[in-house]
Amino acid sequence: MKTREELDSLSAQILDSAIKVHRAMGPGLLEAVYHHCMLAELRSRDLQVDTAVPVPLFYDGMPLDKEYIIDLLIDEEIILELKSVEGLLPVHEAQLISYLRLADKRLGFLINFNVPLLKNGFRRFVNKF
């Protein structure tokens, strides 16, 4: 498990990567475009990035026939949920919070690339941090 300082350092690299991708591609493209660009940018920084990570659902200790898919998982610690939507909705936040709890991760970012300034589309969420 990474320290707060290590997570903060990773977070800075993630934010910088997202800004770089947003500046290069601009807003208004499909989510898949940003997904591929973020994957390439984060890996170019020698970060471990897993994509389409399945998260199984358990209830009362029993596995259920349902799994959710994390967009990007950075260094097995930080969840990235990418969007390209007109505006982030509470359901998008609930999605990331669910992933954090189900995957037992401490930190996640919800990033909406369909904004003029990326800082307006970048949200940080914590779980047991």
Domain harbouring 14, CATH code: 3.90.1570
Give Cα 56 to chain centroid, integer Å.
17
Q: What is the pLDDT of residue 115?
A: 97
Q: What is the pLDDT of residue 46?
A: 97
Spell out, as residue ranges, where the chain has pLDDT lower than 50.
Answer: none
User: CA torsion angle for 10, 120, 117, 31 (degrees, to 10)?
Assistant: 70
* Helix 4-25 and helix 31-44, axial crossing angle in degrees, nearest 10: 130
Q: What is the pLDDT of residue 126?
A: 96
Closest CA to 31 of 116, 111, 118, 129: 111
Per the structure, the count of domains in the chain is 1
Q: How many degrees, rounded to 5, is the angle at CA 37 between CA 76 and CA 78? A: 20
- Cα separation, 60 vs 11, whole angstroms: 33
- Cα separation, 31 vs 9, whole angstroms: 25
Domain that includes residue 57, residue range? 4-126
Q: What is the pLDDT of residue 123?
A: 97
Q: What is the pLDDT of residue 66?
A: 95
